[in-house]
Structure 1
Amino acid sequence: MLFYRAALDLSPRTRTFVADLIRGHRRRIGSRWRVLPPGRQALLVHLRRNETFSALAAAFGVGLATAHRYVTEVIGLLAELAPDLR
């Protein structure tokens, strides 16, 4: 369970959208196992805007490198949807 000190403004629709992107990506690359399921990874990425990677890693029970990799992965997936924003 994740305890957080403030209300989150991530809508269920947005979280589902990002989680579906992650799910599809994992299927395409043949990823068999990850520490966090897609929905939790989407939440981790959303929280990155206000938190350090160290704080995120601790809150989600993952390593620092894993937190960074998860955020970078989702940024890449979102950037693929709008190539001219890169």
Structure 2
Amino acid sequence: MRKTKLKIGVIGLGRIGWQFHCATLAKHAEFKLIGVADPERDRRAEAEHEYGCAAFADYRHLLKMNGLQAVAIAAPTHLHRPMASAA
């Protein structure tokens, strides 16, 4: 078990991003969900409220977060390559 939690962000708050990635990461003792990115304002607000994390409309702002160590990309498949390249 890690002594410090891995600080992670999630890009995309659709069904997979929200119901799988965010929910699982929030429950896991070795991870700390520190930020999310999604273009939908309501989804961002819900994540901020539910998980107490930062929320951004633009994933590039998430990637600039101080301390971010990893990201889960749950955006539509055709966006994965540019997002992964930016990360």
TM, length-normalised to structure 1: 0.28
- Higher alpha-carbon Rg: 1
More strand by share: 2
More helix by share: 1
| Higher normalized contact order (CA 8 Å, seq sep 6+, divided by chain length) | 2
TM, length-normalised to structure 2: 0.27
